[in-house]
Amino acid sequence: MDHPPTFIDVKPLRRFGLDKKTVPLIQHIQYFPNPHRVFTELDYFFRQTELMLKQTGTRALAMLRFANIAAREQAQGPGGFVVNKVTVVGSGFVGATVAQYVADKDLADVVVVDILEGIPQGKTLDMMQAAPINGHDCNLIGTNDYADTKNSDIVVITAGIARKPGMSRDDLLKINANIVKEVAEKTVKLSPDAIFICVTNPLDVMTYLTWKTTKLPTSRVIGMAGVLDSARFQAFIGMELGYSVEDIKAMVLGGHGDLMVPFPRFSSVNGVPITELMTPERIQALVARTRDGGAEIVSLLKSGSAYYAPGASVAHMVEAILKDKNRLLPCAVYADGEYGLKDVYVGLPAVLGREGMKKIVELKLTAEELAALKKSADSIKENVDQMNKLLVAV
C-alpha cells in the first residue's frame, strides 16, 4: 500500500554534510504509514541503518546520528512530544463534550466534523478560548470537510439522531445506520490506520455496522457503552454508601440497554465486595437504577439526553489507547467464541492499548450470569438482523 509522505522533510538535512550513501537511507522516513506514530519507526530505521554504516567511517555515522535528532525534532509537536490526532464526528452535546475532555486531558489535537455549518467551528473556537484557563496546548478545529480528519489516530463516531415522539424503533435504526455507514466510509478512507470508537445508538448494533463498513480488524473497532454503564453503577454505589467513588470499581457487561448485565460480585469498594456492604435488596435497586440510568436523565431533562458521563467515558477510552495503558475496561467488542458468543459486538471485559482492543478477558461466570449475558447478546443479534433488512446488506 502506498502512503503519502509524512511531515518529516529530509532536504534540510543535506546541508549537514550527509553523503550520497546516507541520504537515500534517510529518505525512507518519508514513507511511514502514519506520521503520528513515527518514533517506533525512527528507532528501528536508525538502528538498522547505523549497523550498515559502521563500515563507512565515523563521519557518516556522526551525520546519521545528527539526522536522527533532526528528524525527531521535525516529528515532534509542541513541548517535544508526538502529537496525536483524534477526530470526533458529530458536534452535538456528546461530540462536543468528548472533544473538550480529550483536550483538557492534553491527549491529542481534536478535529470535530459535522454537516451543520458553523456549529463545529463555533464550539471548537469556544473550547480554544478556554484552553489558557484549563492549561493545555491541544489544537481544536471544527469543520464540515472530512479532508481535515486525515491521518487520525482515533475516530469517535457520535453522529446520529435521538428517538423522537412518534418515531418507531425501526425508523431510528434505519436513519442512524445510514448516518454511521456514511461516516465510517468517509473517515476510514482518510484514516486507514485509525482506531474507531462508536457512541451512536443503538450502540452495539452501530459498532457492528462500523466494523462491517470499515473492514478493519475487530481489535480496532470498539463500542463505548460498558465504561459508561459501569461508571453509573459506581456512582450509584458511592451515593448509596457515602464512600469516595475513587475507591469504587464496578463491572457492567452485555448490551447497552434494558438487557445490560451489572455484576455485583465483581464490584467493590477498595477491594471489599459490595455484597459485604449492602443488602441484596439494595444492590438490586442499584442494578435496576443503572439499567435505567440514561432514561432517568432523559425524564429529568424533558428534552435531550446525557452527555457529560458519555463524553467522559469516551475520553477515558481514548486515554487508555493513546497512552497504551493496558486498561481492563468493559467495552462493546467483537465476540468470536468468548463466553460462548459468536459474531456479535457486546459488552465484555477487554484490555485497551495502543493497538486498540488487545484481548478479551474471560471471567468465570455462574450459569445464571452466563444466561443473562447470552440473552443480551441474542437481542443485539436480532437488532443487527433487523438493521440488515432495513439497509442494503452490509
Q: Which of 329, 152, 159, 304 is nearest to 231 (CA)?
A: 329
**Dist. CA 91–CA 123, nearest whole Å:** 8
Strands (E) in the chain, as ranges, are: 85-89, 109-113, 140-143, 154-157, 195-198, 221-223, 248-249, 252-253, 261-262, 268-269, 272-273, 327-336, 342-353, 356-360
Length of the chain: 394
Cβ proximity of 257 and 290 under 8 Å: no
The span from the CA of 314 to the CA of 227, in Å, is 8
* Burial label, 267 (beta-carbon count in 10 A; 0-12, 13-18, 19+): buried
Cell matching residue 68: 536522527
Inter-axis angle of helices 293-301 and 280-291, nearest 10: 60
Look up 256 and say whether it is catalytic: yes
- Across 83-104, b (16+ Cβ under 10 Å) vs e yields bbbbbbbbbbbbbbbbbbbbbb
Task: Supply 215's cell numbers.
Answer: 473492514
Strands 261-262 and 268-269: unpaired
Q: Which of 9, 187, 159, 180 is nearest to 85 (CA)?
A: 187
Q: Which residues are catalytic?
A: 256
